[in-house]
A and B are shown apart, each in its own frame.
Chain A
Amino acid sequence: MEDQEIEQAAELFLDLWQENFRQWALERDLLPHRDLAALIGVAVGVGDSDDPAPK
């Protein structure tokens, strides 16, 4: 990939990355920091579940 493509992909990733947690908050109505931290943990590969936030 060209440098410019890498930079564009990085920007896109960051937008998706943040939107991911906004979507979880939308679905769950509320997303306290504890749940946000748990979701981040899964998305970086240190969590133990695909869907750790409380129902």
Chain B
Amino acid sequence: MTRRPSDHLLPFSAEALVKGPRPLALHLANGLSVWREAGSGAAHLRTGTAGWHKAVKDPARSLRSLVRSEDDWRRLVAAVRRRAEGRSAEMLEGINAYLAHPYERPASDAITALEIGSCRLHDFGGAGAPILLVPSLINPHHVLDLMPGRSLTAFLKAAGYRPFLVEWYNPGPEELTFGVSDFVMQRLLPFLDHVGAVAGAAVPVIGYCMGGTLTVALAARAADRVSRLVLVAAPWDFATDKPPAGRKYARVMAETLAQLPDDMPLPVDAVQAFFTSVDPTLSDRKFRAFGNMDPESEAAHFFVALERWANTGAPLPRQVAEDTLIGWYRENRPARGAWHVDGSPVELGDIRCPVWIAAPEQDRLVPQASAYAVAAGLPDAVCHDPGAGHVGMMVGSRAESGLWQPMLDWLRA
């Protein structure tokens, strides 16, 4: 039976209530299985270091050399088991504390300037020069306005700009039928035109992550309406020596898509499972650390704000999933000049404005080389390393010095 897009709406709205970490079962399985087997791992270390990565083999051997007697090994294994159980409990307590935390995201000062379908353009007001901000399609827009002190939009407004922020992560019935090209032409372009009408001129555009890649197409299709283009960790070349995480699983993901019912979008937990695979030990470490934080501290509030943002997602429209997982990850269409938007390939030579490319070396989701690759077709582009991770560079403690201020300096230059 072919399902209509609207059939998918009810369960998706329920998904939005999940605070994460999601998929919860996967996070628990990863974290707890490591600790559950630690005692057996300690006992096995006595016989050798099979299964130990080369980066930790020598320290493991050194530890083994310290344990000499039968009784020492017995006591060590017992201590490892007891302490591993303690770490498991700490992880669960950290998750419970996170789920129970009373933090609520502050209400935004922005008003809705334009609404098309389920997508909105938020206007942060002020008398400054209009600037358009485009986040990823996958997570909510408010990573660019997360909380006081951790908001690129607030920073830009204080610097004399009037930010307009695109919200488009939660597709409605119409967007569920969209491919990437539709999002660019039927959502991004009208939003750009609105901001341009407010400005009375071409405007600067900032694109983050996948949103950045889409703004490349926007700047190519509306070259006369974009005055400057900022690309932040925007993947472009999916075949670099260190490709964007996930390329090797693109075939598996494509096969998964083929198994889904007609027009069913990619479930949000499938997208989240992908992120979990980047580091299956991360949830344990961060939730144990959170459990030891003062819940009233700014650090704890920041943790909850960021975690809820990361765990708030929506299904990816089927055609967008195919365009990206197959067209980008597997076939590398953007860098090959074979990515079609509005019926023809996106040519970097069509972009006429100055371009600034920010991409950190330590980004594990979008390798620097993938993001910098777009500069090969933009001879005057400027590249910048913000010196933090994929999300940390945008909202972390070094965001202002590493990304926001250098971006502002370039915009003003």
Q: Is B281 an interface residue (CB 8 A)?
A: yes
CB distance from A46 to the nearest CB of B (A): 8
Cβ-closest chain B residue relative to A28: B248
Q: Once the chains bind, are A21 and B281 in contact (CB under 8 Å)? A: yes
Instruction: Give the residues in chain B near A22, CB-CB below 8 Å.
Output: 279, 281-282
Q: Is B26 an interface residue (CB 8 A)?
A: yes
A1-13: CB near B (< 8 Å → 1, else 0) gives 1010111011111
- In the assembled complex, B410 has its CB within 8 A of some CB on chain A: no
Bound Cα distance from A44 to B41, whole angstroms: 4
Known contacts: A6-B76, A9-B63, A43-B51. The answer to whether A25 contacts B281 by CB under 8 A is: yes
The answer to whether residues A9 and B66 also contact, given A14-B83, A21-B34, A50-B50 and a CB cut-off of 8 A, is: yes
Say yes or no: A43 contacts B41, CB within 8 Å: yes
How far in angstroms is the closest Cβ of chain B from A39?
Answer: 6
* Contact size range, A: 35 or more
Q: Which residues from chain B contact A21 at a C-beta distance below 8 Å?
A: 34, 280-281
The answer for the CA separation of A7 and B79 in the assembled complex, in Å, is 6
Query: Quick one: CB contact mask for A27-42 with B, threshold 8 Å, 1 for yes?
Result: 1011111001101111
The answer to whether B44 has its CB under 8 Å from any CB of chain A is yes
Q: What's the dominant secondary structure at chain A's contact region?
A: helix
What chain B residues lie within 8 Å of A29 (beta carbons)?
Answer: 242-243, 245-246, 248, 278, 364
Q: Which of A5, A24, A45 contacts B53, CB < 8 Å? A: A24
Provide the residues of chain B in CB contact with A23, threshold 8 Å: 53-56
Q: When chains A and B are docked, how far (Å) is the Cα of A32 from the Cα of B83?
A: 25
Q: Is B184 an interface residue (CB 8 A)?
A: no
Q: Is the CB of A30 within 8 A of B278?
A: yes
CA distance A47 to B52 in the complex (A): 12
Could you tell me the distance between the alpha carbons of A24 and B385 in the complex, rounded to whole angstroms?
A: 26
Q: B59 to A17, Cβ gap below 8 A? A: no
* 8 Å CB interface, B328-359 against A: none
- Verify B44–A1 contact, CB threshold 8 A: no
Q: Mark B22-37, 1 if CB is under 8 A from A, else 0.
A: 0000100110011101
The answer, yes or no, to whether B47 is at the interface (CB within 8 Å) is: yes
Chain B residues lying within 8 Å of A50, measured Cβ to Cβ, are 50-51
Assembly CA distance A21 to B279 (angstroms): 9
Residue of B nearest to A39 (CB): B51
CB of A13 within 8 A of CB of B45, answer yes
Q: Which of B44-88 contact A (CB under 8 A)?
A: 44-45, 47, 50-56, 59-60, 63, 66-69, 72, 75-76, 79-80, 82-84, 87
Alpha-carbon gap, A34 to B33, bound state (A): 11
Complex CA distance for A6 and B75, rounded to whole angstroms: 7
Interface residues, chain A, with chain B CB atoms under 8 Å away:
1, 3, 5-7, 9-14, 16-27, 29-33, 36-37, 39-45, 47, 50
Given contacts A1-B76, A44-B43, 14 further A-B pairs with CB under 8 A are: A1-B68, A12-B63, A14-B87, A17-B42, A20-B51, A20-B52, A25-B279, A25-B280, A30-B246, A32-B249, A33-B277, A36-B30, A39-B51, A44-B51
